[in-house]
Amino acid sequence: MTTVPSDIAIAQAAKLRPIADVAAEVGLGPDEILPYGRYKAKISAEAIARRKPEGRLVLVTGINPTPAGEGKSTVTVGVSQALRRLGRKVVVCIREPSLGPVFGVKGGAAGGGYAQVVPMDEINLHFTGDFHAITSAHNLLSAMLDNHLHQGNALGIDPRRITWPRTMDMNDRALRSMVISMGGINAGPVREERFVIVPGSEIMAILALSTDLTDLEARLGRIIVGLTRERKPVTAAELKASGAMTLLLKDAMLPNLVQTLEGGPALVHCGPFGNIAHGCNSIAATRLGLSLGELVLTEAGFGADLGAEKFFDIKARFGDLRPEAAIVVATVRALKMNGGVKKDALGKEDVAALRRGLVNLEAHVKNVQKFGVPVVVALNRFTSDTEAELETLLDAARGWGARAALSEVWARGGEGGEAVAREVLALLDEKKAAFKPLYDVARPIKEKIETIAREIYGAGGVDYTAAAEKNIAQCEAMGLGQTPVCIAKTQYSFSDDPTKLGRPTGFRLTIRDVYPSAGAGFVVALAGDIMTMPGLPKSPAAESIRVLPDGTIEGLF
């Protein structure tokens, strides 16, 4: 059995093409890119404006994540490498990683093995500064809000009803709830405060959904920071903050161009989480990819119950996108865990447990099909998988009306993804897609929540706390009743209970709060105990990361 080096070792050993050569492959001239060193660049606004999206869009999604691993980003990159090997002009569009998972437990988001986007270390760390720009713009609004309170509060904002948090891109549970302005009369009014992680910031969602600078500034101006004592919403535009925020985000608005390990073009832009936000890369990057390539592969965060639903109902709706196929990524190991096998026993063949766990994959496949999008199941192979297990999974997927193929991109790069790539091409040749969102945005907020809960999660009903009931009424009174709904819930289960694996049914979903994300253009519903500021695990990945004297990095993945 061939031993595959660590992700960082593979990435650091790669021989990268100059970014101008990567750009030229998709028809971008040297005057249309803004280089950030030798291997990264932003695409100029002029280059974007002069092109029209004409390519075909393929979404990559997956089953609910487990500690066994699924490899959705790896498959996304690897299949794009495979399509390029097959002579197709393909662009991969993925999200930027957050420092929280990089130094926490999940790791980066640049793929893995021989299916990565590079330079991996730079992408996983500070990259081109987009996350820092989002942090600055978000916290500028926070500072202007508190300054407004200190300087006389002409807008009459009720300090008890401020809804705008602060942000930072790190897992830090100590920042979930606090009291600020404890420094006396010059510090402003004492009030409660909280932080969200940057991928959960409304600014991140706005940047990912904006089409140009004009749209960006308009969306920023619509952000609701809190309410007056009469419960009238107060916006960032009323605080006169949106112009300066747009300035901070001007360069971050431009998509980033890098490359795969095999030299193909990759657009890496924005990074909203799929559990607490809409979980997709930017509309700007996806539309740019569709103007540069024949095919675009883009991923959505976590399982199809979160990322894919939000891709279809939020991003595709706002971006006028028409996905024509979807790849649903699964592993034998993860499905055996859904079937009740403990992590330390996953290396043993257990077809019975696999069959029990297949209900999770089946539900995701059928959910995607509800949107009118045909499916290819990519079985991401692990070395411990047996032939009996592989055939059981592939046969089951075909029985649900999906195509299915083995993916070995982690160990073999693009060559290992050709079987999946051929199935995608065959699916596109059939021209069966008839994409449609799940619900009509004109329906009441509760009806949209309950449609998602019933049709996608399999819930038997929805319960609302008193706070959620009150805030739904408030959102509808603000004129936000006819927007999409972004449900924030655990990624580990279809339900709001992370311990319920497989395919739970008949459970009741609890919506504990609802709040407006008016700039992004949707309403957020918090389900169960989901947190918008994660915490570090007992042994965070940061403990194993170091830089050697020669600059070599260890422990980054």
**What secondary structure does DSSP assign to 217-271, as a single string?**
HHHHHT-EEEEETT--EEETTTTT-HHHHHHHHTTTTSPEEEEETTS-EEEE---
Report yes or no on 541 lying in a domain. Answer: no
In this structure, are 240 and 324 located in the same domain?
Answer: no
In this structure, are 215 and 319 located in the same domain?
Answer: no
Give the residue-averaged pLDDT of 393-415. Answer: 97
The runs of H, that is alpha helices, within 444-494 are: 445-452, 466-477
Axis-axis angle for helices 242-249, 130-150 (nearest 10): 160
How high is the pLDDT of residue 491? Answer: 95
Report yes or no on 260 lying in a domain. Answer: yes
Going by C-alpha positions, the residue among 526, 524, 528 that lies closest to residue 475 is 524
The string of pLDDT tens digits covering residues 280-320 is 999 999 999 999 999 999 999 899 999 999 999 999 999 99
* Residue 365: C-alpha distances to residues 168, 327, 374 (Å): 35, 9, 9
Distance of alpha carbon 199 from alpha carbon 136, whole angstroms: 13
The string of pLDDT tens digits covering residues 519-543 is 999 999 999 999 999 999 999 989 9
Give the residue-averaged pLDDT of 377-398. Answer: 96
The string of pLDDT tens digits covering residues 320-336 is 999 999 999 999 999 99
CA atoms within 13 A on the CB side of 113: 28
Tokens of 521: 């253009």
The string of pLDDT tens digits covering residues 89-103 is 999 999 999 999 889
Report yes or no on 540 lying in a domain. Answer: no
Report yes or no on 205 lying in a domain. Answer: yes
In this structure, are 100 and 148 located in the same domain?
Answer: no
Place of tokens 């500690």: 67
In this structure, are 268 and 308 located in the same domain?
Answer: yes
Tokens of 161: 């009803």
In this structure, are 333 and 419 located in the same domain?
Answer: yes
Residue 1 — pLDDT band, cuts 50, 70, 90? very low
Tokens of 234: 């107060």
Report yes or no on 303 lying in a domain. Answer: yes
Asked if 151 and 124 touch (Cβ cutoff 8 Å), the reply is no
The string of pLDDT tens digits covering residues 244-280 is 999 999 999 999 999 999 999 999 999 999 999 999 9
Report yes or no on 545 lying in a domain. Answer: no
Q: What is the pTM of this model?
A: 0.95
Residue 178 has pLDDT above 90, yes or no: yes
Domain end residue (candidates: 384, 407, 430): 430
Phi, then psi, of 440 in degrees rounded to 5: -90, 125
Read off the CATH number of the domain in which 459 is found.
3.10.410.10
Count of structural domains within the chain: 3
The residue segments making up the domain with residue 217 are: 130-249
How high is the pLDDT of residue 431? Answer: 72
Read off the CATH number of the domain in which 233 is found.
3.30.1510.10
Residue 175 — pLDDT band, cuts 50, 70, 90? very high
Residue 106 has pLDDT above 70, yes or no: no
The string of pLDDT tens digits covering residues 338-368 is 999 999 999 999 999 999 999 999 999 999 9
In this structure, are 170 and 301 located in the same domain?
Answer: no
In this structure, are 397 and 459 located in the same domain?
Answer: no
In this structure, are 275 and 369 located in the same domain?
Answer: yes
Place of tokens 């699916």: 427
469-474-479-484 Cα dihedral, nearest 10 degrees:
-40
In this structure, are 288 and 418 located in the same domain?
Answer: yes
Going by C-alpha positions, the residue among 181, 187, 245 that lies closest to residue 213 is 245
What is the helix (H) or strand (E) element at residue 455, kind and residue range?
Answer: none
**Mean pLDDT over each residue of the chain, to the nearest integer:** 95
Residue 17 — pLDDT band, cuts 50, 70, 90? very high
Residue 506 has pLDDT above 70, yes or no: yes
**What secondary structure does DSSP assign to 352-409, as a single string?**
HHHHHHHHHHHHHHHHHHHTT--EEEEEE--TT--HHHHHHHHHHHHHTT-EEEEE-H
Place of tokens 């119950």: 305
Report yes or no on 91 lying in a domain. Answer: yes
- Cβ burial 446-485 (10 Å sphere, 16+ → b, else e): bebbbbbbeebbbbeebebeeebeebbebbeebebbebbb
In this structure, are 159 and 216 located in the same domain?
Answer: yes
In this structure, are 404 and 489 located in the same domain?
Answer: no
Distance of alpha carbon 133 from alpha carbon 155, whole angstroms: 27
Residue 86 — pLDDT band, cuts 50, 70, 90? very high
Report yes or no on 436 lying in a domain. Answer: no
The fraction of the chain above a pLDDT of 70, given in percent, is 99
In this structure, are 113 and 260 located in the same domain?
Answer: yes
Read off the CATH number of the domain in which 421 is found.
3.40.50.300
